[in-house]
Amino acid sequence: MLVRSRRVHPQGRVSTVIGVVLAVLLVVLLSARGAAAAVVPGDAWVRAAHLVPGLEAMQVSARPTAGGDTVVLAADAGYGDVAPYQRLAPGDYTVELRPAGAAPTSSPVLSSTLTAKAGAAYTLAGLGSLTSPRLATLQDDLTPPAPGTVNVRLLPAASTAAQVTVSAVDGPVIAQDAVFGQPTSYTSVPAGTWTLQAVANGVAPATTKVDLTAGGVYTLAVVDGTGGLGVQVVTDAAGAATMPVGGAQTGGGGTAGGLDTESSPGPWILAMIVLGGLGVLAVRRARTTRSS
């Protein structure tokens, strides 16, 4: 019996190759997405704030509990100062506050502990009164706000104001009756240029014009000013595209790092190049077949 061999058309071979390549590329892209989702930023972001009225300039440091070099977060922070963010390796730390220029071995004025987690952001703030100060660890939420809005919180640190209300003239209320030494949570308000007013009983109000850029995260510190209250604006995060690098320009809120396959064009460009090459090969094979 005569068995005829089946001839495979070149176009069929090319189609098969394209299908296999597409399947491989799909697996690679999905794997890249999974790897991206598993990536965790390697450092925490930490900064120091001196918000104890009447307390002299201070040095704030973080000493690893397991041993290692002490990180100075602020060498000479005066009342009202908020230092830039610094990278800190994840782990447990002893945070110490000493007078500026004091020996590292001297007894700290205040101390606390910090468990720094990868990708998280913290403000180590001296809060309270001169007679009853404390060193608080504040969790900074740098999650980007909704489009067209900003996230704002208040740090009430004016000794002359037991409670303070901060609002925008002809605009939203940032915080109502915020208690001295008790930070508020973040609140969402429309972005824009606002005139903020801080009001407290028995104290001259403070008026400050600020530009709150959409996508930003901000902290407002209410402090003792000359003849009344003062409002200081600190940028916690300037948007999702940048890492937090300082008190005046930060971002993404402590969430950056790793491969982002949804925004990174690399894998898709590779796929387009491969498929384009296979398409050209298919056309050439088809022409060859027709000519023969």
Q: What DSSP string runs through 190-233?
A: E-EEEEEEEEETTEEEEEEEEEE-TT-EEEEEEEEETTEEEEEE
Residues 153 and 203 in one domain: yes
Q: Which segment of 10-19, 41-50, 115-124, 134-143 scores lowest on mean pLDDT?
A: 10-19
CA–CA gap between residue 81 and residue 100 (Å, rounded):
13
Q: What's the token pair of residue 45?
A: 């972001």
Residues 185 and 220 in one domain: yes
Q: Is residue 121 part of a domain?
A: yes
Q: Is residue 260 part of a domain?
A: no
In the predicted model, what is the mean pLDDT of residues 222-229? 91
Residues 135 and 157 in one domain: no
Residue 212's CATH number: 2.60.40
Choose the final residue of a domain: 140, 157, 188.
Answer: 140
Residues 149 and 209 in one domain: yes
Averaged pLDDT of the chain: 78
Residues 245 and 159 in one domain: yes
Residues 153 and 205 in one domain: yes
Choose the final residue of a domain: 113, 140, 167.
Answer: 140
Residues 84 and 152 in one domain: no
Range of the domain at 152: 145-250
Q: How confident is the model at residue 238 (pLDDT cuts 50, 70, 90)?
A: confident
Q: Is residue 291 part of a domain?
A: no
Q: How confident is the model at residue 287 (pLDDT cuts 50, 70, 90)?
A: low
Task: Give 159-191 pLDDT, tens digit per residue.
Answer: 999 999 999 999 999 999 999 999 999 999 999
Q: What is the pTM of this model?
A: 0.69
Please tell me whether residue 290 adopts helix, strand or coil conformation: helix
Q: What's the token pair of residue 215?
A: 């996508």
pLDDT in the model for residue 42: 79
pLDDT in the model for residue 94: 97
In the predicted model, what is the mean pLDDT of residues 148-169? 96
pLDDT in the model for residue 240: 55
Choose the final residue of a domain: 140, 155, 174.
Answer: 140
In the predicted model, what is the mean pLDDT of residues 235-248? 61
pLDDT in the model for residue 227: 84
Q: Is residue 208 part of a domain?
A: yes
Q: How confident is the model at residue 3 (pLDDT cuts 50, 70, 90)?
A: very low
Distance of CA 222 to the CA centre of its chain: 23
Dihedral sign from CA coordinates of 103, 109, 219, 45: positive
What is the DSSP-derived secondary structure letter of residue 95? E
Query: DSSP alpha helices (H): ranges in the chain?
Result: 10-38, 266-291
In the predicted model, what is the mean pLDDT of residues 22-28? 41
CA–CA gap between residue 71 and residue 69 (Å, rounded):
6
Residue in the structure block whose two tokens are 């230092």: 83
CA–CA gap between residue 135 and residue 170 (Å, rounded):
36
Residues 92 and 171 in one domain: no
Question: Is the per-residue pLDDT at 30 higher than 70?
Answer: no
pLDDT in the model for residue 247: 40
CA–CA gap between residue 184 and residue 125 (Å, rounded):
13
Residues 151 and 215 in one domain: yes
Q: Is residue 30 part of a domain?
A: no
Residue in the structure block whose two tokens are 């447990």: 92
Q: Is residue 103 part of a domain?
A: yes
What is the DSSP-derived secondary structure letter of residue 82? B
pLDDT in the model for residue 100: 97
Q: Is residue 264 part of a domain?
A: no
Task: Give 67-116 pLDDT, tens digit per residue.
Answer: 999 999 999 999 999 999 999 999 999 999 999 999 999 999 999 999 99
pLDDT in the model for residue 207: 92
Please tell me whether residue 19 adopts helix, strand or coil conformation: helix
Asked if 193 and 209 touch (Cβ cutoff 8 Å), the reply is yes
Residues 60 and 127 in one domain: yes
Residues 150 and 130 in one domain: no
Q: Is residue 227 part of a domain?
A: yes
Residue 51's CATH number: 2.60.40.1120
Dihedrals φ, ψ of 279, to 5°?
Answer: -65, -45
pLDDT in the model for residue 41: 52
Residues 125 and 150 in one domain: no
CA–CA gap between residue 135 and residue 52 (Å, rounded):
10
The total domain count for the chain is 2
